[in-house]
């Protein structure tokens, strides 16, 4: 589906972004692990997260959904059984990389994973390595790609140092750690999002954080508790950036998570000179918080300056880096993003597709092996951008169109529905003021 986004007048209004996609995935999985029913409010009803609910049903859980309210009657920590049925992850990379951690400890059971054409190009070797170190048996296509099979065994706790910071790999290992004998510690080179830890803590799992090391012990069962999923800052980032780029705009974002492991985009916006007002969370060590911080953010248009994004910041805004590239087009001076090679392993090679897409709209942007460099200050001319089936690239094109001089046509705009149902309606509402 091709959709045209013309240059916009001032954006105004308030909106509640879609519920957090990452938390929704995790809430469904944690709910299925519980013995007593778990009610999840604010669940995101998008394609990827519905794939996760379907996968939990495949494993024996009972799922009842009423809008964004989901009740899950789980199978307990050690009761997951696919009974020979393939677990179809659709296009959900989070599901594909987290779920094997839980299932690897289901002794004597076998699970086959598959998904769509895009998923079959996304590697699983980074989760296979630590799980095998704990005793898991995983057989993948070409030893690194889906379809793949997990054969449940008795696991042994380990200390695993992540070669690259990844919330998905960390979460996978921690879920396996709940099933394993002894303690399991994951050491990250830099901190990544911690939704899995907070959710497990909410349901009584003892975890501790010391610097960038997270430790969990074997657990017999999860405590009873309900979960709430707030608005997704990664989704909110698109109207936030639109408000920053379109002159005269004032946008209010309600009920959005400001978890410090996800709020890197706000820090970069501050550094670039944007005005985003609202409460923030600061990092804390020790026991993991049993819940998510929520805030309201107010965004207004203003001049921007270039910056450098690298190192420990990258895992805290990995999904927002395409928007950094767009912001950089309007910022005076040079913007450099490095240490972001992980972008090449998303729904598309986001370094290649973002650079190609924005260059086609008139940006002065060059790809590097682990990021990109933008010469800013000239904004965006306009033109056509292809989403390549990537939801974030589709919405990037839409925001570019609003801030462009000539407008942008997004080819494949339907991809946005994966994470942001109703994105077009929200844009239209902000344009109406």
Which active-site residues does the annotation give? 319
Angle at 392 between CA 391 and CA 393, to 5 degrees: 95
Look up tokens 């916006």; give the residue: 269
- DSSP-assigned states of every residue in 333-402: SEEEE-S-GGGGGSSS-HHHHHHHHHHHTT-EEEEETTEEEEE-SS----EEEE-TT-HHHHHHHHHHHH
Do residues 107 and 154 make contact, with C-beta atoms less than 8 angstroms apart? yes
Strand order, beta sheet including 2-5 = 2-5, 408-411, 383-386
Nearest residue to 242 (alpha-carbon basis) of 395, 354, 394: 395
**CA-based R_g, the chain, Å:** 21
Question: Do 277 and 8 touch, CB atoms closer than 8 A?
Answer: no
- Record the tokens describing residue 305, joined without a space: 């300056």
H helices of 120-232, in order, are: 125-133, 167-179, 195-202
CA 426 to CA 416: how far, in whole Å? Answer: 12
The answer to whether 416 touches 398, Cβ cutoff 8 Å, is: yes
The shares of helix, strand and coil residues in the chain, as percent rounded to the nearest 5, are 35, 25, 40
Enter the tokens of residue 193.
């999002």
Q: How far apart are CA 101 and CA 170, in angstroms?
A: 10
Here the tokens at position 171 are 């979460």
| Residue closest to 193 by CA, chosen among 121, 131, 107, 259 | 259
Strands (E), 258-356: 275-277, 286-287, 294-300, 308-309, 334-337
Alpha-carbon separation of residue 81 from 222, 249, 260 (angstroms): 18, 52, 36
- What stretch of H or E contains 265? helix 264-272
Is 198 in a helix, a strand, or coil? helix
């Amino acid at each position: 589906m091709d959709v045209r986004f013309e240059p916009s007048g001032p954006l105004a209004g308030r909106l509640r972004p879609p519920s957090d996609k990452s938390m929704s995935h995790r809430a469904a999985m944690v709910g299925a692990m519980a013995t007593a029913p778990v009610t999840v409010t604010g669940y995101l009803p998008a394609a990827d997260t519905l794939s996760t609910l379907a996968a939990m049903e495949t494993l024996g859980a009972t799922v009842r959904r009423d809008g964004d309210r989901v009740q899950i009657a789980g199978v307990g920590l050690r009761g997951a059984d696919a009974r020979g049925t393939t677990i179809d992850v659709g296009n959900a990379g989070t599901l594909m990389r987290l779920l094997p951690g839980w299932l690897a400890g289901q002794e004597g059971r076998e699970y086959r994973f598959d998904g769509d054409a895009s998923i079959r190009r996304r590697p699983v070797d980074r989760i296979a390595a630590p799980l095998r170190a704990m005793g898991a048996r995983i057989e993948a296509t070409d030893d690194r790609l889906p379809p793949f099979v997990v054969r449940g065994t008795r696991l042994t706790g380990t200390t695993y140092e992540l070669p690259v910071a990844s919330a998905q790999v960390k979460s996978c290992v921690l879920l396996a750690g709940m099933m394993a004998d002894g303690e399991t510690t994951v050491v990250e080179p830099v901190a990544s999002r911690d939704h899995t830890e907070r959710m497990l803590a909410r349901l009584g799992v003892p975890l501790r954080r010391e610097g960038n090391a997270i430790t969990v012990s074997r657990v017999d069962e999860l405590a009873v508790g309900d979960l709430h999923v707030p608005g997704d800052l990664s989704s909110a980032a698109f109207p936030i950036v639109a408000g920053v780029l379109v002159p005269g705009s004032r946008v209010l974002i309600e009920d959005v998570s400001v978890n410090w492991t996800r709020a890197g985009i706000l820090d970069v916006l501050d550094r670039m000179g944007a005005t985003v007002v609202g409460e923030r969370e600061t990092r804390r060590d020790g026991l993991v918080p049993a819940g998510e911080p929520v805030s309201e953010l107010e965004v207004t248009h203003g001049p921007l300056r270039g910056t450098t994004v690298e190192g420990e910041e990258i895992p805290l805004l990995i999904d927002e880096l395409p928007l950094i590239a767009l912001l950089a087009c309007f910022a005076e001076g040079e913007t450099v993003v490095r240490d972001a090679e992980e972008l090449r392993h998303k729904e598309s090679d986001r370094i290649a597709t973002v650079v190609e897409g924005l260059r086609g709209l008139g940006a002065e942007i060059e790809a590097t092996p682990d990021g990109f460099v933008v010469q800013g200050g000239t904004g965006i001319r306009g033109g056509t951008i292809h989403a390549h089936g990537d939801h974030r690239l589709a919405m990037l094109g839409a925001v570019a169109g609003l801030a462009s001089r000539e407008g942008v046509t997004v080819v494949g705009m339907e991809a946005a529905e994966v994470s942001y149902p109703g994105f077009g309606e929200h844009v239209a509402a902000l344009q109406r003021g």
